[in-house]
A and B are shown apart, each in its own frame.
Chain A
Amino acid sequence: MEAFKGYGRADGRVGIRNHVAVVSTVSCANGVVDKICAEIPETVKIIHANGCGRGGEDLRIHSRTLQNLCKNPNFASILVVGLGCEIIPVDSLNKAAASVRKPAERLTIQAEGGSEQAIKKGIEIANKLVEEAKKIEPGIFPFSQLAIGLKCGGSDAFSGLSANSAIGFSSDWIVDQGGSALLTEVEELNGTGHILRKRAVNEDIAKRIETVILRTKKEAEEILGDIAKIMITPGNMKGGMTTIVEKSLGSAVKGGTRPISDVIEYADTPKKNGLMIMDGPGYDPEAMAGLAAAGCQLILFSTGRGTPLGFPGVPVVKISSNNRLYDHFKGDIDINTGTILDGTRTIEEVGTDLVDLIKNTADGMQTKAELNKQDGILCMYNRYRSF
């Protein structure tokens, strides 16, 4: 069995990084979190625009995302920083961390008496957590412990043939290892429900696959109107596309060929292994937030037009779909699959290289997004409005 160097956590999950996360519960605490992390480069900064002013389903989504992100095994420990009067309280994140027996500390800016005091205390706590995390010895673990998020962004007409096909090869590999792969971006699966349902492990999952795809399509039409109906454009057709099924399969091919074991909610914790669909949006940072909260320790991200975006604490492997982008955008791309399109290499050859890169990344090799510090801010999926 193939294995990687990781960090075993108390709940049995395994991190491929050993970060201390400093997590803001609400945007009002972002400045304090920013200053704490600026002082301690070993920490990972998680700041966002939510935590208050929301109710109903959005509040549930944001709470679940923050709580489950705190449980991601790439984090050795957590420092939760709140304002003190927000709707998502600091304790809810500490409890989430405690539920997986992960060390977690807390502070609120109001209780500390202001930003200066909160920053000072936060630096003390975070320094202590970093020292503790350094004592954790890595171990050797099977790849059944690895969950990989699958993402494409800034795609071009050939992403499906090169980069996404290579991702599909890797998805099959991790599933065969007993690990997990999460396909998401449900609007980009439009038209493939009748195909993907045949890969479901049972009829219940088959129905859920169709339900999430149809619901997403209906919502897109309600919100976007006629624009949503232009699902395959004249430009797509000029590039060789014929039907919406063909176009969407170019995204779905990231999920390889193995059975679909489950459909999970955005940012929810999977109860199974194997290939799963997470009900979530295509918007890059929101999709990655959902994947990281679902426990993915690594994300594969294909791009045809180029994007530097990574994710805090989770390595994002950037995969270019064409040679032109690779030459133009080299500093942000980890692997090029354009050689499939120029006829010099096969999907299997490049897919094997990508699997090797996944293994090296799991062992600790930094991705371009990590080296370039392109974590960005945490963006969480919203369904409604703020109050």
Chain B
Amino acid sequence: MKRNVLIVNQKDNVIIALEDIKKGSEILSPGIESFPVLSDIPYGHKIALTDIRKGSDVLKYGEPIGQVKSDIKKGTWIHIHNMGSYKNNLA
């Protein structure tokens, strides 16, 4: 089965688009139940794999890479418009 998304680490709550995915199209990846994306997703960008509460961590590579600025629905495009830098980014 050819995938159109990649999950980098099983702990992650985002998946990565492996092609431009049109709004309403289903994500395809073995082990992940298909669901439609809520907006156009550019190649290489992140899609919420679950609902994520405002202020919660975005997990990629199994680690927090930042936090969402508002409540996010599964299938949402996650990028600089709705997430920010991790608050304890000291080192």
Contacts and interface: CB of A to CB of B under 8 A. Distances in A.
Interface residues of A, number: 35
Given A240-B16, A242-B66, A242-B83, A249 B60 contact: yes
A194 interface: yes
B2 A344 contact: yes
A157 interface: yes
Contact of A242 (B4, B5, B65): B65
B85 A343 contact: no
Contacts of B3: 343-344
A11 B43 CA distance: 51
Interface in A181-218: 191-195, 197, 209-210, 213-214, 217
A110 interface: no
B35 interface: no
A158 interface: yes
Specify the main secondary structure of chain A where it touches its partner: helix
A38 interface: no
Nearest to A214: B91
A245 B79 contact: no
Interface in B60-88: 60-66, 78-80, 83-86, 88
A160 B6 CA distance: 12
What size tier do the contact residues of chain B reach?
Answer: 35 or more
A68 B60 CA distance: 37
Find the residue from A209, A242, A344 having the highest chain B CB count within 10 A: A242
Find the residue from B18, B58, B78 having the highest chain A CB count within 10 A: B18
B80 A237 contact: yes
A355 interface: no
A243 B66 contact: yes
Find the residue from A160, A250, A340, A343 having the highest chain B CB count within 10 A: A343
Interface of A: 157-158, 160-161, 165, 191-195, 197, 209-210, 213-214, 217, 237, 239-240, 242-246, 249-250, 252-253, 257, 340-344, 347
6 contacts: A157-B44, A161-B8, A194-B88, A240-B79, A250-B61, A343-B19
Give the 7 A-B residue pairs with the shortest CB-CB distance, closest first: A193-B91, A343-B3, A240-B44, A246-B65, A240-B45, A210-B91, A249-B61
Interface of B: 2-6, 8, 16-19, 28-29, 42-46, 58, 60-66, 78-80, 83-86, 88-91
